[in-house]
Amino acid sequence: DAGVTQSPTHLIKTRGQHVTLRCSPISGHKSVSWYQQVLGQGPQFIFQYYEKEERGRGNFPDRFSARQFPNYSSELNVNALLLGDSALYLCASSWSIGGYTFGSGTRLTVV
Amino acid sequence: GQQLNQSPQSMFIQEGEDVSMNCTSSSIFNTWLWYKQDPGEGPVLLIALYKAGELTSNGRLTAQFGITRKDSFLNISASIPSDVGIYFCAGQDTGNQFYFGTGTSLTVIP
């Protein structure tokens, strides 16, 4: 069985641009969570979705948004990119509220 | 965002030694999780704890959910070289938000 898959694996963007990151959960999992991990730190919670509804939101600006599709895949969107948005973006899925199994992440570099 | 206090920050141990690390929070959590993360990869779940006082093992790993619901510890027995990595605790609060610890970097010397 495929695990949590994220795309792209690496991305380089310029300040001010917009980015969309994608996540496919494990088959049967209905919950997807997004995290930001800056080098040397633990992951920071951004969003949690369950059954296509937002169930949790971390302390991130409105430039960050997400959605979950009927097939339970998810997108994370970040507008007006800043240098400080450079990080590893992780997606996690679970069958219920949670988000316990992580993907390998998308490495975003903003220049 | 909130992060849990995890200690120690780093450990250098001889192969075969036991390891202990812990995590504390000012908030009550409903769930405690322990993850291991290798460079360039996402965290991998090691142990999940759902009840105060719960003690759970996974091979050489043992973790406990503190009675106060504000702490947890992870023990690794008889360490081996592949135990090298960064270990994170994570807690889920009553609002379903997850908070991660600052990480413990483990180095095992053969």
pLDDT, position B23: 96
> Out of A43, A44, A48, whose CB is closest to B43?
A43
Angstrom distance (rounded) from CA B103 to CA B85: 10
Which tens digit of pLDDT belongs to each residue from B67-97?
A: 999 999 999 999 999 999 999 999 988 877 7
Q: Would you call B91 an interface residue with chain A, using a CB distance cutoff of 8 Å?
A: no
Of residues B87 and A56, more confidence is placed in B87
pLDDT, position B3: 66
Q: Would you call B41 an interface residue with chain A, using a CB distance cutoff of 8 Å?
A: yes
Between chains, do A103 and B42 touch, taking CB under 8 Å as contact? yes
Q: Assign B39 a pLDDT band (cuts: 50, 70, 90).
A: confident
Angstrom distance (rounded) from CA A106 to CA A88: 6
If you measure CA to CA, which chain B residue comes closest to A103? B42
Strand order in the sheet with A74-78: A5-7, A19-24, A74-78, A64-68
Between chains, do A42 and B40 touch, taking CB under 8 Å as contact? no
Angstrom distance (rounded) from CA A2 to CA B50: 26
Angstrom distance (rounded) from CA B16 to CA B78: 4
